[in-house]
């Protein structure tokens, strides 16, 4: 049996905004659940028709851009790092260093709930590497490995 101290953590939109600097229209994660510090997390993105990318991608056939799925996985990872390292309100930034093996398997459209499972492959310092898988209703939509660098201001 797991006690409360060992239970997975979560981050609502208020905590997410205290950890990462992204804001509308580029804040692409609504909630992060099942956070296991330094190991894994699941980000949730509710895709809605009123998002600005759908005016041009594509008119009459709205499809959530694949690059934004990768970005949403990265933002989920940044929240995982922020929770793992207690970075809320510390003005930390996490920057992409590389993206490998990105594959897109399914269209993501308004009304979908995108679940992004991210797993730490290497981390704990300034450079982190992750594996990410995004799915809708259990069906794989995208996957990639990516690395990022953590920048925390001194003081």
Three-state DSSP at 17 gives helix
Q: What is the rounded CA–CA span in Å between residue 21 and residue 93?
A: 7
Given a contact cutoff of 8 angstroms between Cβ atoms, the answer to whether 136 and 130 are in contact is no
Q: What is the rounded CA–CA span in Å between residue 51 and residue 9?
A: 28
The reply to whether 57 belongs to the active site is: yes
Three-state DSSP at 101 gives strand
Active-site residue, from 18, 31, 33, 57:
57
User: In the beta sheet, which residues pair with residue 51?
Assistant: none
Which H or E element spans position 120?
A: strand 113-122
Phi, psi of 80 (to 5 degrees): -55, -45
- At 129, list the tokens: 């590497």
Catalytic positions are 57
């Amino acid at each position: 049996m797991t006690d409360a101290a060992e239970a997975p953590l979560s981050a609502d939109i208020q905590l997410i905004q205290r950890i990462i600097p992204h804001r509308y229209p580029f804040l692409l994660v609504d909630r992060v659940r099942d956070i296991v510090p330094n190991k894994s997390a699941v980000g949730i993105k509710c895709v809605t028709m009123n998002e600005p990318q759908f005016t041009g991608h594509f008119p009459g056939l709205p499809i959530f851009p694949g690059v934004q799925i990768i970005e949403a996985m990265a933002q989920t990872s940044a929240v995982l790092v922020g929770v793992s390292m207690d970075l809320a309100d510390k003005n930390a930034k996490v920057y992409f260093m590389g993206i490998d093996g990105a594959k897109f398997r399914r269209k993501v459209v308004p009304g979908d709930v995108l679940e992004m499972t991210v797993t730490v492959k290497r981390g704990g310092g300034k450079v982190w590497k992750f594996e990410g898988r995004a799915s809708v209703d259990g069906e794989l939509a995208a996957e990639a490995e990516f690395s990022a660098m953590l920048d925390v201001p001194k003081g």
